[in-house]
C-alpha cells in the first residue's frame, strides 16, 4: 500500500465515525450469555513515528490501570506498525507483521485507509485511538463471549526462548469453522527516548506492546490434543514480571470468539 494512503489521525479527524455496530457474536448465543460473557479484546495500532499516537498510548495505559469504571474486563494489545519509520524515527517495536494485521482489519471493516492511532474492539468495531469517549463506548457496546477454560504453563527451554503450553477447552458456541487459537506475548513498562522524527526529544511510554503473536492451533484440533505449545523468541532485557500472555480465538476476519489473559510468573 502506498504511503499516501497512511494517515496519522487526531481525535478531531473527520475520518472518525461515532456510529458503532456489531454483528452477532455467534449464531446461538442468548442475550444473557453475552451479558455474562468473558473479556473484551481491545487492540491498538500505534507508532512512535506518529505525532498523535503518544496520546492514544497514554489513554491505553490508563485503561490498563483501571482508571475508568468500565464494568467490563479487557485484554489490551498494542501493535506497533512500521509504515511511519520512513519519517525519521524507526519504532523499535514496529513490525511489518502488525502492519499486515491492521491491513486485514481495514479490509474486514470496509475502511478507506490505514491510520494511526486506531483501536479495534473484539475484531468488530473501530475508532480513533485517542478519542476517549468513542473508545469507552466501543468497549461498553462490545459483544462478550464466554472465555476458554485453558490452563497455562510456562518454561524456558533456552535462555532465549519461552514455551507456552495450554490445555483445556473452548466455551464459545457457534460455527467456528476456520477459527484459530492465537497466543500473544506482550510487554509493559517500556520507556523510549526519541531523538528523531515527529516526536523528537519526547520520552515515550508504552504498555501492552505485542512482542510476538503465534497461531497455537485451529479450533477443530483443540479436542484432539491434550497439550499444545508454542515457543517465543525473547529479547535482550526480557523481564517476565512486565510481560503477559493473551490467548484468543479469532475467525479468518479476526473477529474474537473468546479470550483469556495470563500474567507471567516472576520466576520464568
Residues 98-140 have pLDDT tens digits of 999 999 999 999 999 999 999 999 999 999 999 999 999 999 9
For the chain, 268 residues long, the average pLDDT of each consecutive 10-residue run is 57 42 35 62 98 98 95 96 96 98 96 97 97 97 91 95 90 66 97 97 98 91 75 95 96 92 92
- Domains of the chain, by residue range, sit at 34-263
- Strand (E) or helix (H) holding 58: helix 53-65
The burial class, CB within 10 Å (0-12 / 13-18 / 19+), for 22 is middle
62-83: per-residue pLDDT in tens? 999 999 989 899 999 999 999 9
The whole-number pLDDT of residue 95 equals 98
pTM for this model (two decimals): 0.88
Indicate the DSSP class of residue 62. H
Contact present, 201 and 194 (Cβ < 8 Å): yes
What superfamily does domain 34-263 belong to in CATH? Interleukin-17 receptor A/B, fibronectin-III-like domain 2 (2.60.40.2150)
- Grid cell 475502511 is found at 111
CB-CB contact of 155 with 225 (8 Å) = no
* pLDDT value at residue 267: 86
Contact 56, 118 (CB under 8 A): no
- DSSP designation for 135: H
Which residue is listed with cell 449464531?
Answer: 27
The three cell numbers locating residue 121: 474492539
Cis peptide before 139 (omega within 30 of 0): no
Closest CA to 213 of 70, 54, 102: 102
Neighbours of 31 (CB within 10 A): 6
Amino acid at each position: 500500500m502506498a504511503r499516501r494512503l497512511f494517515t496519522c489521525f487526531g481525535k478531531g479527524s473527520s475520518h472518525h465515525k461515532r456510529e458503532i455496530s456489531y454483528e452477532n457474536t455467534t449464531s446461538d448465543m442468548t442475550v444473557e450469555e453475552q451479558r455474562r460473557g468473558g473479556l473484551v479484546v481491545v487492540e491498538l495500532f500505534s507508532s512512535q513515528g506518529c505525532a498523535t499516537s503518544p496520546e492514544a498510548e497514554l489513554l491505553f495505559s490508563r485503561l490498563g490501570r483501571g482508571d475508568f469504571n468500565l464494568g467490563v474486563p479487557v485484554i489490551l494489545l498494542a501493535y506497533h506498525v512500521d509504515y511511519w519509520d520512513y519519517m525519521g524515527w524507526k519504532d523499535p517495536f514496529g513490525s511489518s507483521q502488525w502492519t499486515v494485521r491492521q491491513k486485514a482489519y481495514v479490509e474486514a471493516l470496509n475502511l478507506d485507509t490505514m491510520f494511526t492511532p486506531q483501536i479495534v474492539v473484539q475484531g468488530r468495531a473501530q475508532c480513533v485511538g485517542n478519542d476517549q469517549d468513542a473508545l469507552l463506548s466501543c468497549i461498553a457496546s462490545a459483544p462478550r463471549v464466554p472465555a476458554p477454560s485453558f490452563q497455562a504453563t510456562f518454561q524456558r527451554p533456552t535462555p532465549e526462548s519461552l514455551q507456552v503450553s495450554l490445555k483445556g477447552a473452548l466455551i464459545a458456541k457457534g460455527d467456528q469453522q476456520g477459527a484459530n487459537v492465537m497466543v500473544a506475548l506482550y510487554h509493559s513498562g517500556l520507556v523510549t527516548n526519541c531523538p528523531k522524527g515527529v516526536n523528537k526529544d519526547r520520552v515515550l511510554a508504552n504498555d501492552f506492546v505485542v512482542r510476538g503473536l503465534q497461531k497455537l492451533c485451529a479450533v477443530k484440533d483443540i479436542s484432539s490434543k491434550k497439550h499444545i505449545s508454542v515457543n517465543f523468541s525473547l529479547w535482550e532485557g526480557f523481564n517476565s514480571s512486565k510481560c503477559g500472555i493473551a490467548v484468543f480465538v479469532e475467525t479468518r476476519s479476526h473477529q474474537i470468539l473468546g479470550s483469556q489473559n495470563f500474567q507471567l510468573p516472576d520466576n520464568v
